Amino acid sequence: MDGNGRWAKKRHLPRAMGHKAGVEAVRRTIRAMEDFGLEALTLYAFSSENWKRSEEEVSDLMGLLRFYIKQDVEELVANNIRLHVIGNYKAMAPDIVKMIDKVLERTADNTGTILAVALNYGGQDEILRAARGFAQKAAIGEIVPEDITEAHMASALDTAKLPPLDLIIRTSGERRLSNFLLWQAAYAELYFTDTLWPDFGGDHLKAALQDFASRDRRYGGR
Ligand code: FPP
């Protein structure tokens, strides 16, 4: 969800206002995703590297997250959306962990679209955590190295319960993965748009999906 800062700067507003406008784009995109019948959408809300930002900006983002959960939880529940979190969110502030666990519990039986939110998430960190888990199991003789297969690895990642990744949309003209879903991106299609995240909405999602529909996916075959 890139470009919040630049969106605010263009308007001579503080960065926090860009993130606030970003939350409106989150709402628009979730509604559009439901209209388009997507199975799952993952939003990169806070990376494990975002802690390097100023204390003020981190605190603004955490405040927005609290605000968003409080304001929108009923809509998520009512719309049959199932929340999922990827990333080491348990290391975040205890009140946020509690709020998230409550929403996870309340939406666990929902059967509609999956809304996955990446919080304190880094693709390398996710792979490291899985590798450490395997090493611990090997150390106590629970597994041997040959047991570690691609399927095994996939099931040890935070995305184990999500469908395979089809499309990554990167906003604001950036053209890199920035530590997002590194393992899962192996055969994902990439879509880049210059639109700043706060300007993103249903029409932009539709354009990305139309572009995706025109791709020829070969997964390394012919
Ligand atoms: C990147 O833009 C955006 C973020 C680091 C935060 C995204 C968070 C939200 C939109 C709000 C919270 C999320 C939810 C799900 C409620 P940037 O700040 O890097 O912008 P810039 O590249 O223009 O500086």
Residue-wise pLDDT tens digits, 42-72: 999 999 999 999 999 999 999 999 999 999 9
Q: How many CB atoms lie within 10 A of CB 115?
A: 26
68 lines ligand 1 (CB under 6 A): yes
53 lines ligand 1 (CB under 6 A): no
Nearest protein CA to atom 1 of ligand 1, as residue: 2
Whether 50 is catalytic is yes
1 lines ligand 1 (CB under 6 A): yes
pLDDT 10s digits, 105-122: 999 999 999 999 999 999
Q: Can you count the helices (H) and strands (E) in the chain? A: 7, 5
Q: Which atom of ligand 1 is nearest to the CA of 25?
A: 10
**Res 33: pLDDT:** 96
Spatial CB neighbours of 85, under 8 Å, sequence gap ≥ 6: 100, 104, 116, 117, 118, 119, 158
**Res 77: pLDDT:** 94
Whether 179 is catalytic is no
pLDDT 10s digits, 165-191: 999 999 999 999 999 999 999 999 999
Q: How confident is the model at residue 30 (pLDDT cuts 50, 70, 90)?
A: very high
- How far apart CA 128 and CA 202 sit, in angstroms, is 35
Kindly state the tokens that stand for 158. Answer: 């935070």
First to last CA, the chain: 33
- Catalytic residue from among 50, 79, 88, 179: 50
**Res 123: pLDDT:** 98
Contact between 75 and 106 (Cβ < 8 Å): no
**CA geometry: angle 50, 56, 58, nearest 5 deg:** 25
Helix (H) or strand (E) holding 169: strand 167-170
Nearest protein CA to atom 19 of ligand 1, as residue: 2
**Res 210: pLDDT:** 98
Q: 4: left (phi > 0), else alpha (psi -120 to 50), else beta?
A: alpha
Helix (H) or strand (E) holding 48: none
**Res 222: pLDDT:** 76
Centre of ligand 1 to C-alpha 45, Å, is: 6
Q: What percent of the chain has pLDDT over 70?
A: 100
**Res 189: pLDDT:** 98
CATH number for the region 4-213 comes to 3.40.1180.10
pLDDT 10s digits, 72-96: 999 999 999 999 999 999 999 999 9
**Res 66: pLDDT:** 97
Nearest protein CA to atom 5 of ligand 1, as residue: 46
